[in-house]
């Protein structure tokens, strides 16, 4: 529930405050902060698909690593609670918003192997070195389209 509230607060602050400059890494690479966020998310999903938990864990923010201090604990948590992220059938990036503190909320549309569709809201946190790490993911089942 706390993670969900954080996502809502970040979304509201981004809507109220408008878009700001992204982290220092965005300026150094010439890429937007949203592009960098998508690269991090894509890197983690690809690592999960390759069963490379060590690499997937490297994309987690320090707050997540404090809760799951080992790669094994992190991997078990993702397998148990985030199956569509761990094994997506297909995924695509949706909307993104930047908050005033440099955080980014990135929507990822996921089609799970069981055929169910999900929206994953990734909260990306800027790090002191200018990189972005994944601070949290909130999973929402997608509404049926009726087609």
Instruction: Give the residues of the chain that fall short of pLDDT 50.
Output: 1-22
Place of tokens 């503190």: 101
147 domain residue, yes or no: no
pLDDT of residue 100: 87
Pairing label, strands 104-111, 90-98: antiparallel
Other Cβ atoms less than 10 A from the Cβ of 99: the count is 23
Residues 8-34: tens digit of each pLDDT: 444 434 433 333 334 555 556 789 999
Specify if 92 maps to a domain. Answer: yes
Domain count, the chain: 1
**Which position has the token pair 């002191």?**
128
Quick one: tokens of 18? 């408008």
Q: Has residue 21 been placed in a domain?
A: yes
Supply the pLDDT for residue 142: 87
Q: Please check whether residue 146 lies inside any domain of the structure.
A: no
Q: Is residue 54 part of a domain?
A: yes
SS3 66: helix
Q: Per the domain annotation, does 114 fall within a domain?
A: yes
Nearest alpha-carbon partner for 86 in 61, 56, 62: 56
pLDDT at residue number 24: 56
Residue pair 87/112 in contact (Cβ under 8 Å)? The answer is yes
pLDDT tens by residue, 64-76: 999 999 999 999 9
pTM: 0.80
Domain that holds residue 32: 2-141
Q: Are 14 and 96 in contact (CB under 8 A)?
A: no
CB 105 within 8 A of CB 77: no
Q: Using CA atoms, how far apart are residues 33 and 39, in angstroms rounded to an integer?
A: 10
CATH code for the domain of 76: 3.10.450
**Predicted pLDDT of residue 25:** 56
Q: Cα angle vertex 132, ends 61, 136, to 5°?
A: 45
Q: According to the model, what pLDDT value does residue 18 have?
A: 36
């Amino acid at each position: 529930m706390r993670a969900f509230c954080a996502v809502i607060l970040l979304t509201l602050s981004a809507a109220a405050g408008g878009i700001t400059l992204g982290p220092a890494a965005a300026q150094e690479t010439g890429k937007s902060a949203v592009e960098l966020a998508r690269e991090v998310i894509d890197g983690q999903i690809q690592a999960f698909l390759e069963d490379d938990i060590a690499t997937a864990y490297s994309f987690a923010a320090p707050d997540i690593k404090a809760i799951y201090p080992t790669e094994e604990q992190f991997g078990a948590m993702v397998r148990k609670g985030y199956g569509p992220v761990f094994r997506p059938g297909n995924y695509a990036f949706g909307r993104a918003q930047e908050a005033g503190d440099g955080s980014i909320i990135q929507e990822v549309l996921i089609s799970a192997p069981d055929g169910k569709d999900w929206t994953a809201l990734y909260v990306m946190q800027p790090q002191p070195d200018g990189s972005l790490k994944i601070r949290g993911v909130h999973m929402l089942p997608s509404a049926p389209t009726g087609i």
